[in-house]
Structure 1
Amino acid sequence: MTTDTTTSQAPARDTVLDATGVTMRFGGLTAVSDVDLTVGGGEIVGLIGPNGAGKTTFFNCLTGLYIPTEGTVSYRGKVLPHRSHLVTQAGIARTFQNIRLFPNMTVLENVLVGRHTRTKEGLVAALLRGPRFKKAERESEDRAMELLEFTGLAAKRDHIARNLPYGEQRKLEIARALASDPGLLLLDEPTAGMNPQETRATQDLVFAIRDQGTAVLVIEHDMRFIFNLCDRVAVLVQGRKLVEGTPAVVQGDERVIAAYLGTPFEGEPGEEELAEVEAAEAHSTARTEGDDTA
Structure 2
Amino acid sequence: MTTATPTPPAAEAQPAATVLSATGVTMRFGGLTAVQNVDLTVNSGEIVGLIGPNGAGKTTFFNCLTGLYTPTEGTVSYKDKVLPHKSHLVTQAGVARTFQNIRLFANMTVLENVLVGRHTRTKEGLLSALLRGPGFRRAENQSEQRAMELLEFTGLAAKRDHLARNLPYGEQRKLEIARALASDPGLLLLDEPTAGMNPQETRATQDLVFAIRDQGTAVLVIEHDMRFIFNLCDRVAVLVQGRKLVEGTPDVVQSDERVVAAYLGTPYEGDTSAETAPEDGPEDTTGTTSTKDTEGGTA
For normalisation by structure 1, the TM-score amounts to: 0.90
Tell me, in whole angstroms, the C-alpha distance in 2 between the residues paired with 1:284 and 1:168.
28
Which residue of 30, 33, 37 corresponds with 1:30?
A: 33
Question: Which AA in structure 2 matches 1:285?
Answer: T
Q: Give the superposition deviation at 1:122.
A: 0.1
Tell me, in whole angstroms, the C-alpha distance in 1 between the residues paired with 2:209 and 2:77.
23
Assess, with a 3 A threshold, how the Cα gap between structure 1 residues 12 and 167 changes in structure 2: closer, same or farther.
farther
Aligned to 2:136: 133
Aligned to 1:16: 19
Aligned to 1:157: 160
Q: Give the superposition deviation at 1:284.
A: 4.0
Aligned to 2:180: 177
* Contact 1:45–1:233 (Cα < 8 Å) also in 2: yes
Aligned to 2:274: 266
**Identity over aligned pairs, percent:** 85
Q: What does the per-residue CA deviation read over 1:118-151, in whole Å, with 9 as the maximum and x for residues that have no partner?
A: 0000000000000010000000000000000000
Q: Secondary structure at the match of 1:149?
A: helix
Aligned to 1:285: 289
Matched, 1:245 2:248: yes
* Contact 1:66–1:284 (Cα < 8 Å) also in 2: no
Which residue of 170, 193, 203 corresponds with 1:167?
A: 170
Q: Secondary structure at the match of 1:68?
A: coil
* Contact 1:112–1:141 (Cα < 8 Å) also in 2: yes
* Contact 2:29–2:283 (Cα < 8 Å) also in 1: no
Tell me, in whole angstroms, the C-alpha distance in 1 between the residues paired with 2:234 and 2:15.
11
Aligned to 1:73: 76
Aligned to 1:6: none
Q: What does the per-residue CA deviation read over 1:230-252, in whole Å, with 9 as the maximum and x for residues that have no partner?
A: 00000000000000000000000
Aligned to 2:118: 115
Q: Give the superposition deviation at 1:267.
A: 3.7
The correspondence of residues 21-60 of structure 1 with structure 2, limited to 5 A, is 21-60=24-63
Q: Give the superposition deviation at 1:269.
A: 6.2
Tell me, in whole angstroms, the C-alpha distance in 1 between the residues paired with 2:116 and 2:219.
21
Matched, 1:226 2:226: no
Tell me, in whole angstroms, the C-alpha distance in 1 between the residues paired with 2:89 and 2:195.
28
Question: Which AA in structure 1 matches 2:207?
Answer: D
Q: Give the superposition deviation at 1:43.
A: 0.2
Which structure's residues are more often helix, by fraction? 1
Tell me, in whole angstroms, the C-alpha distance in 2 between the residues paired with 1:269 and 1:148.
45
Aligned to 1:4: none
Q: Give the superposition deviation at 1:268.
A: 7.3
* Contact 2:60–2:283 (Cα < 8 Å) also in 1: no
Question: Which AA in structure 2 matches 1:87?
Answer: V
Q: Give the superposition deviation at 1:266.
A: 1.3
* Contact 1:188–1:220 (Cα < 8 Å) also in 2: yes
Which residue of 181, 189, 192 corresponds with 1:189?
A: 192
Q: Which aligned runs of 4 or more in structure 1 are off by greater than 4 angstroms?
A: none
Tell me, in whole angstroms, the C-alpha distance in 2 between the residues paired with 1:269 and 1:35.
14
Q: Give the superposition deviation at 1:262.
A: 1.1
Where does the alignment leave 5 or more consecutive residues of structure 1 unmatched?
1-10, 287-294
Aligned residues: 272
* Contact 1:19–1:71 (Cα < 8 Å) also in 2: yes
Aligned to 2:297: none
Tell me, in whole angstroms, the C-alpha distance in 2 between the residues paired with 1:236 and 1:284.
23
Tell me, in whole angstroms, the C-alpha distance in 1 between the residues paired with 2:231 and 2:112.
33
Question: Which AA in structure 1 matches 2:280?
Answer: L
Aligned to 2:66: 63
Tell me, in whole angstroms, the C-alpha distance in 1 between the residues paired with 2:241 and 2:138.
51
Q: Give the superposition deviation at 1:166.
A: 0.2
Aligned to 2:294: none
* Contact 1:12–1:40 (Cα < 8 Å) also in 2: no
Tell me, in whole angstroms, the C-alpha distance in 1 between the residues paired with 2:78 and 2:223.
22
Q: What does the per-residue CA deviation read over 1:203-243, in whole Å, with 9 as the maximum and x for residues that have no partner?
A: 00000000000000000000000000000000000000000
Where does the alignment leave 5 or more consecutive residues of structure 2 unmatched?
1-13, 268-272, 291-299
